[in-house]
Structure formats: C-alpha cells, structure tokens
C-alpha cells in the first residue's frame, strides 16, 4: 500500500487541539499530511475550554499553525482522505466555494472524511449529510438536523465514509475510527456508545 495522503482543511480561529492532534497523530503514522486554508499563511488557532460558572465554552488564543496551501490550489484527487477540524473556523470557511469543491469530491468518491465539533457546519452547508447519521458539537444539533441528518450525542459515529465526533475530548475514538477507514478496515458499529454530553 502506498503512503496515504491526508488533507486537513481549516482556517483562522480553528480549535487548536482539533488541528494539532490529527496533524501530528497522522504524521506519526507515516502519512503525508497537507494543511489547507483559504490562503497560504500562518493561521491563528484558538483554545476552547470550559470554565466554572460559564454555560458555554470560553475562547483563548492558541498556537500559530502554518498552512501549506490555499483551497484554490488544492487538487482533491491527490488525497486519500479528509479531516475537518472544528472551532470557529467552520463558521466562515464554509462560504468558500473552493472548500465546497474539495469537500464534495471526497463524498462523491466515497473517500474517508473525519469531521469534528463545528465542522458539521461545513458538511451541512455543502449539502452532503442528508440521510446520514452523525454527531457534532451538541449546540449545533439544529443545523445537523436541518441538513437532513440524524444526530446522536455519542463520542463517535461512523456512517459509511464519514467519521464524526463532538469535540476534542473525543479524539481517541475519533482518530481510532478514522484510521480504520484510511487503512481499509471496517468499523463494527455505525454508532459507538458514549455518554451524553452536557456541554452546550
């Protein structure tokens, strides 16, 4: 088997762990990983965490992460799988026509896609989740269901080529199931049991 090529798509205000963990974990596997963004530049990530007394997450500045290529210059046919981190980046990069082109390619070709947290906003905007079962950050459940998907509040859901998780605390299950798809292994479950999230 040739070395898998993985594309990560993100932008400014991406959640730091949701970019850095798959970036480094997939490189640890020996995969060729490329980070794409609206423009080729150094991105400013953010840290979303939970503080006592807050009903939602807080945001702090995170790592600065260099993008390798702009969306407009990505040929998705060169890649075997796609990772879409969350954070605030999906709120605005979902409007990029080149990102939509990239995402549609992976679904049209049935290639593995891993989407975590607010990444579901991109999938909903592109129109690729109707009829699927998935999870996401619980606060965007209405967007997931409005796009025609069935929402499950569990740590990871595998539906055909799509692996979804709620947020960075679910990383172990998220990457474990995604790696199975990249290696050509099949998940034994469409939805793996997890505890319901109380986070909003």
Q: Give the pLDDT score at 12.
A: 98
**Does the structure show a pLDDT above 70 at 174?**
yes
- Residue at token pair 């999230």: 197
Q: Does 118 qualify as catalytic in the annotation?
A: yes
Q: Give the pLDDT score at 179.
A: 97
Give the pLDDT mean for 56-61: 93
- Sequence-distant (6+) residues with CB within 8 A of 119 are 84, 85, 86, 90, 136, 164
Report the distance separating Cα 51 and Cα 33, nearest Å: 33
For the question of whether the overall pTM of this predicted structure is more than 0.85, the answer is: yes
Quick check: 93 and 19 in contact, CB under 8 A? no
Q: Which residue ranges make up each domain of the chain?
A: 5-192
Q: Give the pLDDT score at 100.
A: 98
**Closest alpha carbon to 126 in 158, 96, 156, 157:** 96
Catalytic residue among 48, 105, 118, 171, which?
Answer: 118
Give the pLDDT mean for 159-175: 97
Quick check: 46 and 13 in contact, CB under 8 A? yes
CATH fold of 5-192 reads Rossmann fold (3.40.50)
Q: Give the pLDDT score at 199.
A: 42
């Amino acid at each position: 088997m040739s070395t898998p090529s993985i594309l990560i798509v993100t932008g400014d205000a991406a959640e730091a762990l949701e970019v850095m963990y798959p970036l480094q974990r997939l490189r640890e596997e020996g995969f060729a990983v490329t980070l794409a963004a609206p423009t080729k530049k150094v991105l400013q990530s953010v840290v979303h965490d939970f503080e006592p007394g807050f009903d939602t997450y807080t945001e702090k500045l995170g790592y600065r992460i260099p993008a390798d290529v702009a969306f407009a210059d990505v040929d998705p046919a060169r890649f075997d799988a796609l990772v879409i981190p969350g954070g605030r980046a999906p709120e605005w990069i979902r409007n990029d026509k080149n990102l939509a082109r990239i995402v549609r390619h992976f679904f049209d070709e049935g290639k593995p896609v891993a989407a975590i947290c607010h990444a579901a906003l991109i999938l909903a905007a592109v129109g690729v989740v109707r009829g699927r079962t998935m999870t996401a950050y619980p606060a965007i459940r209405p967007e997931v269901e409005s796009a025609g998907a069935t929402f499950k509040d569990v740590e990871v859901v595998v539906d055909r080529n799509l692996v979804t998780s709620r947020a960075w605390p679910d990383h172990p299950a998220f990457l474990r199931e995604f790696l199975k798809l990249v290696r050509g292994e099949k998940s034994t479950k469409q939805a793996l049991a997890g505890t319901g999230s109380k986070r909003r």
